[in-house]
Each structure stands twice: as structure tokens, then as C-alpha cells.
Amino acid sequence: MKVIRAGVLGFCMGVRRAVDLACAEAAHAAGSGKVFTLGPLIHNPRVLEELERQGVGFLENLPADLSGISVIIRAHGVSPITEQEIHSRGGRVVDATCPRVKAGQLKAGSLERAGYRLFLAGEAGHAEVLGIKGYAPGCFVVGNAGEARAAAAGLRVTEPDARTALIGQTTIRAEEYRSVADTIKEYFPRLEVVESICAATRDRQDSLRSLLDQVDAVVIAGGKESANTRRLFAIAEQREKPCVLAETAGDIPAAFAAFQTVGLCAGASTPDSVIDEIEA
């Protein structure tokens, strides 16, 4: 069997920055047990296990007293209210929000303050979307063109002259984003569309599309909770190419051994060690 790697693999800049910040905090705390992430730092179980070994704990919710505790904001970001809560409870904020996500948060807030009715394209329950919505509480979260149509049609009835804008989750597929934008424009032709898709996400998706033309099947390496990894898997599925989303080598079906060429792609939060293990 021949394995062909996608042209873009490994940590993206935002994930690398978040992991480096967490490791530095753990080293500085020297096993004090006072360094925690609020929610998973990134969506990769192997990386989270390694951070735990280094002394980084995990908080699902904020305790009442955070005195002396460093709370690392996950790469997906949080709402400004959550950040204020950490400060008010005595905690120290270590902001590991991806700079691209932070830019989206600030842009969303700026648009809403300027009077725009904002549409946010993404997964309603995803941490990044929840964080952005915290900066623009009045936005419409739309997961697909159908939801965008319903929201835009309703707004057209109540506010026909509204100024509108669209921003997206950084990991949304480009074709999904265009579909949402085109749908909203049927009701608000002057919709302002923010180019919010991360370049690393776009490059990774384009690299996979190119890879699919060269292989019989493809393995997508990454965490099953990772939005960008799941979207890579969806691209392969749409091409009707045999594919599997694998967190470890053990997730790859034995039947894949029958293919002559297998492509290997990976989500933005997949470490090199996992990619190498899966290829081997």
C-alpha cells in the first residue's frame, strides 16, 4: 500500500500557540495544581492527555473562588462575560484564543454596535460560536442555508430596511458559507459578508480535495469532537471516497489494507506524533 500525505498537515498556528501557552503555564506552576483550562483547550484527546500529565487541569464550570488559579481560555475562545467572571472570582486569565477567532469576536461585536443585524454561520452549540455570540448577543446563529432562509425571511418582515452582515465560524466549509450568504442575499441584497474563514482551514480543505484525486481511499486523522476535522471528513464523503475519521491507528478498518493508495489528511489540532503513528 502507498500512503500519500496531504500537502497541509499538523497543528495550525492557533492550536500551536494555545498548546505552547498551556505548556509554559504548566512549567511555570511546577506542579502546583493551579493551572486549568476552561473546557478542552483543543479538540484532540491525545494532546489533552499530555497536558494533564504536565499538570494542566480541566474545569467544566467555574468554581466560586479562583484565587491563585490560572485559567487558560481555550483556542475556541469564550464570551466576554465568562472572562469577566474569571477575573471577578480572583482568577488569572491566560488567553489562548486563536488570534483569528479573536478577530472574529471583535468584528462581530463591532458590527452589532454599529447597528447591523448579524448572521453567524456555524454550529449552534460549538464553543467558538458561543464565544462569538457573547460579543454579539443579538446575532442569528444559522447552521445551514435552510436556517439562514428562515432567519432572513423573518427579519425581512420585521425589519425590511435592516443593515445586515454575515460572519462565520472559522472552520466552516467555504461552500457552506457561500450557500448561507447567497440565501440571505435573496432577502437582503446588500448583505456585508465578512471573510472570516481561517486561511489554514481553507488551505487544509483545498489540500484534501487535491489529494482525493490521487488516492483510492483516505484517512482523516483527528479528534472526533473537532469541527474542522469533521468537515474534512464531510468533504471526502461528498466525493463518495472511502474514508475514515481516525483518532488512533486502531480506528482504521482492516479493509483499508486492500487499497493500493491511501491518502492521509489531518485536522488542525492533530499532533505530528498521531499523524506519524497512523501512517505507520
CATH number, domain containing residue 21? 3.40.50.11270
Q: Which residue has the cell 483550562?
A: 37
Residue 32 confidence (pLDDT) above 90: no
Rounded Cα distance, 206 and 16, in Å: 21
Q: What are the CA-CA distances from residue 49 to residues 31, 40, 149 (Å)?
A: 15, 11, 42
Q: Which of 25, 128, 176, 247 is catalytic?
A: 128
Burial class (CB in 10 A: 0-12, 13-18, 19+), 23: middle
Domain end call among 193, 228, 253: 193
Q: Which amino acid, residue 151?
A: A
pTM for this model (two decimals): 0.86
CATH number at residue 244: 3.40.1010.20
CA angle (186 as vertex; 179, 184 as ends), nearest 5:
50
pLDDT in tens, 52-72: 999 999 999 999 999 999 999
* Sheet hosting strand 217-221, strand order edge to edge: 2-5, 261-266, 217-221, 243-246
Q: Residue 16 is which amino acid?
A: R
85 in catalytic set: no
DSSP H stretches of helix in 6-65: 13-29, 45-53
- Distance separating the N- and C-terminal Cα atoms of the chain: 11
Query: Which range marks the domain in which residue 209 is found?
Result: 2-10+199-279
Q: Each residue of 113-146: pLDDT tens digit?
A: 999 999 999 999 999 999 999 999 999 999 999 9
To which H or E segment does residue 180 belong? helix 174-185
185 and 206 housed in the same domain:
no
- What average pLDDT does the segment 219-231 reach? 91
Mean pLDDT of 73-94: 96
Q: Which of 193, 213, 246 is the last residue of a domain?
A: 193
